[in-house]
Amino acid sequence: MRMAFATFCSFLAALLVVIGCLTGSPGRKELSAFATVSTLPEIQRTDGALHVNITVSGSKQNPAWSPDSDALLFTRFRNGYNAEPADLFVVDPATSAKRTLVSDGSGNINLPGSSWNSLTQKITFSSSRDPHDEIYLIDDHGSPGDEVKITARTNMAAYEPSLSPDGQWVVFESHKLDVEDNGIIVKHRVDGTLPYQNLTSSSEDCRQPNWSPAGGKILYQKFANGRWDIWIMNIDGTNHRKVTSGAGDKTDASFSPDGKWIVYSSDESGLAFANLFIIPVAGGSAIRVTHCEGYDGAPSWSPDGRKIAFESYPGDPDNSPGTALWIINVPPLYDTAVFRSTGFYDGWILESTENSNAGGTRNASATTFNLGDDAANRQYRGVLHFNTSTLPDTAIVIKATLKIMKQGLTGINPFTALGFLRVDMHKPFFGTTVGLEIGDFEAAAGRSSVARFNKTPTDNWYSAVLNAAGRATINRSGNTQFRLYFTTDDNNNNAADTMRFFSGDYATASARPTLIVQYYVP
């Protein structure tokens, strides 16, 4: 009976996951062009993604778009998720017409992203045929048997290939034979005229490279500190830079067609199973693309920039019968604007007397501004000034972060002694004039308590993320001012407890107070 009950519970849990993934509102209008993408209510999702109808058995994985965005290359694993043998197919989502590209009884696997080249009309893939995994090319209108092997090393296997935009180079993941760890990203000229070039260290574990559309960068995933993150490098293997951060594994990455964004699969934010996310190539905040209680992975961005294809399963795909292919519209994406505080208008104001809640003295020219209290138990407040008029009038701000850099400390740390560092806002300025005034200490705010700073700095930078009211108050046509102060005005110890921060008058611009605005224009 206990076994039967456990089996029932497992079934019920799986059913709930399926319901979470497959019920919801109809798909978005842009996807209606795919006439035979399934639109039955029982397989629709809350995020608007639509299922690609493919009449072939097995696990459909690793979609990659054709250069004209009209067809999908994919890998079909015959015996379930990641269970070889595997074949390559091409499907037209508008008609469901499919054709077999590669099928020889071995594991033939393509990588999502840049595996289908527009200039050479070639497709690259890896194959497990004897003696071991190597990289192959085939014409995009070829047939089984037309493929040509382009790598051949006796002691190294090759997987997950991606073609350069000119089609003359391939980059792939390489391992010593029968070794699963310590993947190396390797670059190789398709015609074999140059030696293999390792782009990452054999002491690291790096996988799934994808070439950027402009040809100057390669992204890859690297395992370090117990998780996978997305990295980017120059095509000669220099200037390695981490793009993603935080908890969770980030995998299966590829570029947007303009090269400004990266789409990837991740279980970040505490997700039970991976969903799809988009992040700027420069790094920053990720945008969640899919919303499913099951697994979404292996995304590929269409060359026209409008759609993302991916594989999905309503639960854990491992040991499952396999995933299906889906398509979702690309959500609105944001730009990032960075503003520095204007030194002529920012500075600090000191309370006239303890508990007066009125300004007494000011300083608008120092290279630092003070926050905390002085030896007479008077509160310091700071005012920061940003010219945000370059933002588009119709900009929708999705995130705004205010950052200040610590210069020094006198007495007790006010973040410990005086509570939270709070932020008020006004546009175009506090008080009666744009310049710093003593009365700005108590002047009415346009919006109060729009943010509070983290108490723990990163490299001496303290950050505060604006709430919705604060984001709406950012001036698209002029100046935006912020007033900073601790929630406890003083601690009555008759000693100065003051932290100094670099102001807009500081000589090094990169240390000045900074406002980072992420936005999109609808």
For 409-442, the pLDDT digits (tens) are 999 999 999 999 999 999 999 999 999 999 999 9
- Inside any domain, residue 13: no
Q: What is the predicted pLDDT for the residue at 333?
A: 82
Q: Is 455 helix (H, G, I), strand (E, B) or coil?
A: coil
Cα 238–Cα 239–Cα 241 angle in degrees, nearest 5: 135
Q: Provide the total of helices (H) and of strands (E) in the chain, helices listed first.
A: 3, 36
Structure tokens at 510: 């990169």
List, as own/partner pairs, every contact residues 230-238 make where C-beta atoms lie below 8 angstroms and the sequence separation is at least 24, other chains included.
230/262, 230/264, 230/279, 231/206, 232/262, 232/281, 233/199, 233/200, 235/164, 235/169, 235/171, 235/187, 235/199, 235/211, 236/199, 237/185, 237/187, 237/197, 237/198, 237/199, 237/200
Tell me: pLDDT of 345 over 90: yes
Structure confidence by residue, pLDDT tens digits, 106-136: 999 999 999 999 999 999 999 999 999 999 9
Same domain for 306 and 432, yes or no, is no
- Inside any domain, residue 193: yes
User: Which pLDDT band holds residue 285 (cuts at 50, 70, 90)?
Assistant: confident
Tell me: pLDDT of 28 over 70: no
- Inside any domain, residue 314: yes
- CATH code of residue 366: 2.60.120
Whole-Å CA distances, 247 to 17, 228, 518: 23, 9, 22
Same domain for 76 and 222, yes or no, is yes
Least confident piece of the model among 18-22, 67-71, 234-238: 18-22
Q: What is the predicted pLDDT for the residue at 45?
A: 80
CA distance 197 to 195: 6
In this prediction, residues 314-319 reach a mean pLDDT of 95
List, as own/partner pairs, every contact residues 490-495 make where C-beta atoms lie below 8 angstroms and the sequence separation is at least 24, other chains included.
490/354, 490/373, 490/377, 490/378, 490/379, 490/418, 491/373, 491/377, 491/412, 491/417, 491/418, 492/377, 493/377, 493/412, 494/375, 494/376, 494/377, 495/375, 495/411, 495/412
Same domain for 325 and 343, yes or no, is no
- How many structural domains comprise the chain? 2
Q: What is the predicted pLDDT for the residue at 320?
A: 96
Same domain for 136 and 208, yes or no, is yes
User: Which pLDDT band holds residue 18 (cuts at 50, 70, 90)?
Assistant: very low
- CATH code of residue 225: 2.120.10.30
Tell me: pLDDT of 25 over 50: no
In this prediction, residues 54-64 reach a mean pLDDT of 97
Same domain for 311 and 419, yes or no, is no
Asked which of 279, 300, 331 is the last residue of a domain, the reply is: 331
In this prediction, residues 246-257 reach a mean pLDDT of 96
CA distance 332 to 326: 19
Same domain for 342 and 309, yes or no, is no
Q: What is the predicted pLDDT for the residue at 450?
A: 97
Same domain for 293 and 388, yes or no, is no
Asked which of 331, 350, 385 is the last residue of a domain, the reply is: 331
pTM above 0.85, yes or no: no
Tell me: pLDDT of 388 over 80: yes
Same domain for 341 and 421, yes or no, is yes
Same domain for 370 and 294, yes or no, is no
Asked which of 298, 313, 331 is the last residue of a domain, the reply is: 331
The domain in which residue 96 lies consists of: 19-331
Identify the residue with better confidence: 8 or 502.
502
Residue whose C-alpha is closest to residue 214's, from 164, 178, 289, 175? 164
User: Which pLDDT band holds residue 522 (cuts at 50, 70, 90)?
Assistant: low
Same domain for 405 and 318, yes or no, is no
